[in-house]
Amino acid sequence: MSMHHQMAIFAFAFGAVMGSFANVLIHRLPMGLSIVFPGSQCPSCSARIRWFDNIPILSYFILGGRCRACKAIISPRYPLVEALSGFLFAAVVFRFGIQPATVAMALFAWALVVITFIDLDHRIIPDVISLPGTVLGLAFSVVPGFPRPMDSAVGVAVGAGFLFLILYSYEKIMGEEGMGLGDVKLLAMIGAFLGWQALPVTILVSSLTGSLVGVGYALIKGESVRKFPVPFGPFLALGAIVHLFFGVGLIQWYLGKL
Protein backbone atom coordinates (compact mmCIF):
# COMPACT_ATOMS: atom_id res chain seq x y z
CA MET A 1 0.00 0.00 0.00
CA SER A 2 1.43 3.38 -0.94
CA MET A 3 1.90 6.20 1.55
CA HIS A 4 -0.86 8.07 -0.18
CA HIS A 5 -3.32 5.22 0.37
CA GLN A 6 -2.39 4.86 4.03
CA MET A 7 -2.86 8.59 4.52
CA ALA A 8 -6.24 8.43 2.81
CA ILE A 9 -7.38 5.56 5.07
CA PHE A 10 -6.24 7.44 8.17
CA ALA A 11 -7.98 10.56 6.86
CA PHE A 12 -11.20 8.56 6.31
CA ALA A 13 -11.13 7.27 9.90
CA PHE A 14 -10.44 10.74 11.29
CA GLY A 15 -13.10 12.24 9.03
CA ALA A 16 -15.64 9.64 10.24
CA VAL A 17 -14.93 10.65 13.86
CA MET A 18 -15.41 14.29 12.84
CA GLY A 19 -18.63 13.16 11.15
CA SER A 20 -19.78 11.79 14.48
CA PHE A 21 -19.17 15.25 15.97
CA ALA A 22 -20.98 16.77 12.97
CA ASN A 23 -24.04 14.67 13.91
CA VAL A 24 -23.95 16.16 17.41
CA LEU A 25 -23.77 19.70 15.98
CA ILE A 26 -26.53 19.07 13.43
CA HIS A 27 -28.78 17.79 16.20
CA ARG A 28 -27.94 20.25 18.99
CA LEU A 29 -26.86 23.59 17.44
CA PRO A 30 -30.31 24.61 16.14
CA MET A 31 -31.82 23.80 19.55
CA GLY A 32 -29.27 25.96 21.33
CA LEU A 33 -28.06 22.97 23.38
CA SER A 34 -24.52 22.52 24.66
CA ILE A 35 -22.45 20.61 22.16
CA VAL A 36 -20.23 19.12 24.87
CA PHE A 37 -22.53 18.07 27.75
CA PRO A 38 -24.14 15.69 28.24
CA GLY A 39 -22.38 12.99 26.19
CA SER A 40 -24.17 11.20 23.37
CA GLN A 41 -27.71 10.13 24.20
CA CYS A 42 -30.38 8.12 22.44
CA PRO A 43 -32.85 10.69 21.03
CA SER A 44 -35.74 8.37 22.02
CA CYS A 45 -34.97 7.11 25.54
CA SER A 46 -32.08 9.47 26.49
CA ALA A 47 -29.97 6.46 27.53
CA ARG A 48 -26.30 7.36 27.48
CA ILE A 49 -24.52 5.89 24.49
CA ARG A 50 -21.33 4.22 25.69
CA TRP A 51 -18.10 4.61 23.73
CA PHE A 52 -18.21 1.10 22.28
CA ASP A 53 -21.68 1.77 20.88
CA ASN A 54 -20.51 5.11 19.48
CA ILE A 55 -17.89 4.00 16.97
CA PRO A 56 -18.52 5.90 13.72
CA ILE A 57 -20.30 3.90 11.00
CA LEU A 58 -19.48 0.49 12.59
CA SER A 59 -21.68 0.76 15.70
CA TYR A 60 -24.74 1.44 13.59
CA PHE A 61 -24.33 -1.90 11.83
CA ILE A 62 -23.27 -3.84 14.95
CA LEU A 63 -26.41 -2.60 16.73
CA GLY A 64 -28.57 -3.40 13.70
CA GLY A 65 -29.64 0.25 13.47
CA ARG A 66 -31.35 0.20 16.87
CA CYS A 67 -30.70 1.70 20.29
CA ARG A 68 -29.20 -0.92 22.65
CA ALA A 69 -31.47 0.20 25.51
CA CYS A 70 -34.89 0.90 23.98
CA LYS A 71 -34.51 -0.68 20.53
CA ALA A 72 -35.74 2.51 18.87
CA ILE A 73 -34.67 2.77 15.23
CA ILE A 74 -31.58 4.94 14.75
CA SER A 75 -31.76 7.12 11.65
CA PRO A 76 -29.45 5.82 8.89
CA ARG A 77 -28.50 9.45 8.46
CA TYR A 78 -26.05 9.16 11.37
CA PRO A 79 -23.72 6.61 9.68
CA LEU A 80 -24.33 8.38 6.37
CA VAL A 81 -23.04 11.71 7.70
CA GLU A 82 -20.06 9.89 9.25
CA ALA A 83 -19.26 8.12 5.98
CA LEU A 84 -19.70 11.32 3.96
CA SER A 85 -17.36 13.22 6.27
CA GLY A 86 -14.80 10.38 6.17
CA PHE A 87 -15.01 10.23 2.40
CA LEU A 88 -14.51 13.99 2.03
CA PHE A 89 -11.47 13.98 4.36
CA ALA A 90 -9.90 11.13 2.37
CA ALA A 91 -10.67 12.88 -0.92
CA VAL A 92 -9.08 16.12 0.31
CA VAL A 93 -5.90 14.27 1.31
CA PHE A 94 -5.88 12.51 -2.05
CA ARG A 95 -6.35 15.77 -3.92
CA PHE A 96 -4.00 18.05 -1.97
CA GLY A 97 -1.50 15.72 -0.31
CA ILE A 98 -0.13 16.82 3.04
CA GLN A 99 0.17 20.62 3.30
CA PRO A 100 -1.44 23.39 5.35
CA ALA A 101 -4.21 23.83 2.77
CA THR A 102 -5.24 20.18 3.35
CA VAL A 103 -6.24 20.95 6.94
CA ALA A 104 -8.12 24.05 5.81
CA MET A 105 -9.99 22.25 3.03
CA ALA A 106 -10.89 19.25 5.22
CA LEU A 107 -12.34 21.60 7.85
CA PHE A 108 -14.13 23.55 5.13
CA ALA A 109 -15.72 20.41 3.64
CA TRP A 110 -16.72 19.28 7.13
CA ALA A 111 -18.37 22.64 7.88
CA LEU A 112 -20.31 22.32 4.60
CA VAL A 113 -21.67 18.93 5.74
CA VAL A 114 -22.87 20.42 9.04
CA ILE A 115 -24.43 23.41 7.25
CA THR A 116 -26.12 21.21 4.63
CA PHE A 117 -27.98 19.03 7.11
CA ILE A 118 -28.93 21.88 9.47
CA ASP A 119 -30.29 23.81 6.48
CA LEU A 120 -32.23 20.74 5.27
CA ASP A 121 -33.74 20.22 8.73
CA HIS A 122 -34.41 23.79 9.81
CA ARG A 123 -33.90 26.06 6.79
CA ILE A 124 -31.27 28.04 8.61
CA ILE A 125 -27.54 28.38 8.15
CA PRO A 126 -26.19 29.09 11.63
CA ASP A 127 -24.06 32.23 11.89
CA VAL A 128 -21.95 30.40 14.49
CA ILE A 129 -20.56 28.32 11.62
CA SER A 130 -20.57 30.65 8.60
CA LEU A 131 -19.11 33.73 10.32
CA PRO A 132 -16.18 32.11 12.16
CA GLY A 133 -15.80 29.97 9.01
CA THR A 134 -15.30 33.11 6.92
CA VAL A 135 -12.70 34.45 9.37
CA LEU A 136 -10.93 31.07 9.45
CA GLY A 137 -10.86 30.92 5.66
CA LEU A 138 -9.30 34.39 5.51
CA ALA A 139 -6.79 33.41 8.21
CA PHE A 140 -5.80 30.19 6.40
CA SER A 141 -5.15 32.13 3.19
CA VAL A 142 -2.19 33.81 4.91
CA VAL A 143 -0.53 30.38 5.17
CA PRO A 144 1.42 29.54 1.99
CA GLY A 145 -0.64 27.29 -0.27
CA PHE A 146 -3.93 28.41 -1.64
CA PRO A 147 -5.84 30.62 -2.06
CA ARG A 148 -3.73 33.78 -1.83
CA PRO A 149 -4.87 36.31 0.82
CA MET A 150 -6.08 38.81 -1.78
CA ASP A 151 -8.07 36.12 -3.66
CA SER A 152 -9.66 35.07 -0.39
CA ALA A 153 -10.58 38.65 0.63
CA VAL A 154 -12.01 39.43 -2.82
CA GLY A 155 -13.86 36.08 -2.61
CA VAL A 156 -15.62 37.19 0.57
CA ALA A 157 -16.55 40.61 -0.82
CA VAL A 158 -17.69 39.41 -4.24
CA GLY A 159 -19.41 36.26 -2.91
CA ALA A 160 -21.44 38.14 -0.32
CA GLY A 161 -22.00 41.13 -2.61
CA PHE A 162 -23.18 39.04 -5.56
CA LEU A 163 -25.73 36.99 -3.61
CA PHE A 164 -26.89 40.01 -1.65
CA LEU A 165 -27.60 41.83 -4.91
CA ILE A 166 -29.61 38.87 -6.23
CA LEU A 167 -31.46 38.57 -2.95
CA TYR A 168 -32.24 42.27 -2.96
CA SER A 169 -33.43 42.45 -6.58
CA TYR A 170 -35.45 39.21 -6.27
CA GLU A 171 -37.30 40.67 -3.30
CA LYS A 172 -37.84 43.98 -5.10
CA ILE A 173 -39.16 42.32 -8.25
CA MET A 174 -41.04 39.32 -6.85
CA GLY A 175 -42.09 40.88 -3.57
CA GLU A 176 -41.09 37.76 -1.67
CA GLU A 177 -38.06 36.13 -0.22
CA GLY A 178 -36.06 33.77 -2.44
CA MET A 179 -32.95 33.05 -0.46
CA GLY A 180 -31.98 34.04 3.02
CA LEU A 181 -29.13 36.10 4.39
CA GLY A 182 -27.72 32.76 5.56
CA ASP A 183 -26.96 31.91 1.93
CA VAL A 184 -25.14 35.25 1.52
CA LYS A 185 -22.90 34.49 4.52
CA LEU A 186 -22.34 30.94 3.26
CA LEU A 187 -21.10 32.19 -0.11
CA ALA A 188 -18.81 34.62 1.75
CA MET A 189 -17.34 31.63 3.62
CA ILE A 190 -16.92 29.72 0.35
CA GLY A 191 -15.13 32.72 -1.16
CA ALA A 192 -12.86 32.94 1.90
CA PHE A 193 -11.74 29.31 1.67
CA LEU A 194 -11.57 28.90 -2.11
CA GLY A 195 -10.89 32.43 -3.37
CA TRP A 196 -12.99 34.45 -5.82
CA GLN A 197 -11.96 32.12 -8.66
CA ALA A 198 -14.29 29.48 -7.16
CA LEU A 199 -17.41 31.63 -7.36
CA PRO A 200 -18.38 31.05 -11.03
CA VAL A 201 -18.29 27.23 -10.75
CA THR A 202 -19.97 27.29 -7.32
CA ILE A 203 -22.80 29.55 -8.50
CA LEU A 204 -23.23 27.71 -11.81
CA VAL A 205 -23.32 24.23 -10.27
CA SER A 206 -25.60 25.27 -7.41
CA SER A 207 -28.13 27.08 -9.56
CA LEU A 208 -28.14 24.28 -12.18
CA THR A 209 -28.58 21.44 -9.69
CA GLY A 210 -31.02 23.50 -7.61
CA SER A 211 -33.19 24.25 -10.66
CA LEU A 212 -33.05 20.65 -11.91
CA VAL A 213 -34.08 19.20 -8.56
CA GLY A 214 -36.70 21.93 -8.08
CA VAL A 215 -38.26 21.40 -11.52
CA GLY A 216 -38.08 17.63 -11.06
CA TYR A 217 -39.92 18.00 -7.77
CA ALA A 218 -42.58 20.20 -9.38
CA LEU A 219 -43.10 17.71 -12.23
CA ILE A 220 -43.38 14.69 -9.93
CA LYS A 221 -45.50 16.37 -7.28
CA GLY A 222 -47.51 18.46 -9.73
CA GLU A 223 -46.89 21.53 -7.59
CA SER A 224 -45.36 24.93 -8.20
CA VAL A 225 -41.57 25.11 -8.11
CA ARG A 226 -42.02 27.84 -5.55
CA LYS A 227 -43.29 25.27 -3.07
CA PHE A 228 -40.04 23.29 -3.41
CA PRO A 229 -39.23 22.43 0.19
CA VAL A 230 -35.45 22.22 -0.12
CA PRO A 231 -33.36 25.30 0.79
CA PHE A 232 -30.52 26.64 -1.36
CA GLY A 233 -27.66 26.12 1.13
CA PRO A 234 -27.06 22.43 0.30
CA PHE A 235 -26.75 23.31 -3.41
CA LEU A 236 -24.22 26.06 -2.66
CA ALA A 237 -22.29 23.52 -0.57
CA LEU A 238 -22.39 21.04 -3.46
CA GLY A 239 -21.17 23.71 -5.89
CA ALA A 240 -18.26 24.52 -3.56
CA ILE A 241 -17.33 20.83 -3.26
CA VAL A 242 -17.42 20.42 -7.05
CA HIS A 243 -15.09 23.40 -7.39
CA LEU A 244 -12.83 22.11 -4.61
CA PHE A 245 -12.15 18.85 -6.46
CA PHE A 246 -12.79 19.63 -10.12
CA GLY A 247 -12.83 23.43 -10.38
CA VAL A 248 -9.36 23.98 -11.82
CA GLY A 249 -9.90 21.27 -14.44
CA LEU A 250 -13.35 22.62 -15.31
CA ILE A 251 -12.08 26.17 -15.73
CA GLN A 252 -9.14 25.03 -17.88
CA TRP A 253 -11.45 22.90 -20.02
CA TYR A 254 -13.84 25.84 -20.47
CA LEU A 255 -11.06 28.31 -21.30
CA GLY A 256 -9.58 25.75 -23.72
CA LYS A 257 -12.90 25.71 -25.57
CA LEU A 258 -12.88 29.48 -26.10
Note the residues at the interface with Zn ion (CB under 5 A). Answer: 42, 44-45, 47, 67, 69-70, 72
Can you tell me the distance from the alpha carbon of 89 to that of 95, in angstroms, rounded to the nearest whole number?
Answer: 10
Task: Give DSSP secondary structure letters for 143-158.
Answer: SSSSS-HHHHHHHHHH
- Min dist CB 101 to Zn ion, Å, is 41
Least distance from Zn ion to the Cβ atom of residue 50, Å:
12
**Helices 100-122 + 77-96 axis angle, to 10:** 150
Residue among 68 and 122 whose Cβ is closer to Zn ion: 68
Least distance in angstroms from the C-beta of 30 to Zn ion? 21
Min separation Cβ 28 and Zn ion, Å: 17
Q: Rounded to a whole number, what is the distance in angstroms from the first to the last CA of the chain?
A: 41
Q: By the 8 A CB rule, do 62 and 79 touch?
A: no
Q: What is the dihedral of CA 21, 26, 32, 37, to 10 degrees?
A: -20
Q: Which residue number, 44 or 207, has a Cβ lying nearer to Zn ion?
A: 44
Nearer to Zn ion, 72 or 181 (CB): 72
> Which CB sits closer to Zn ion, 6 or 41?
41
Report the residue number, 67 or 93, with the smaller CB distance to Zn ion.
Answer: 67
User: CA 48, CA 38: separation in Å to the nearest integer?
Assistant: 9
**Residue 74 C-beta: closest distance to Zn ion, Å:** 9
> Cα 239–138–208 angle (5° rounding)?
10
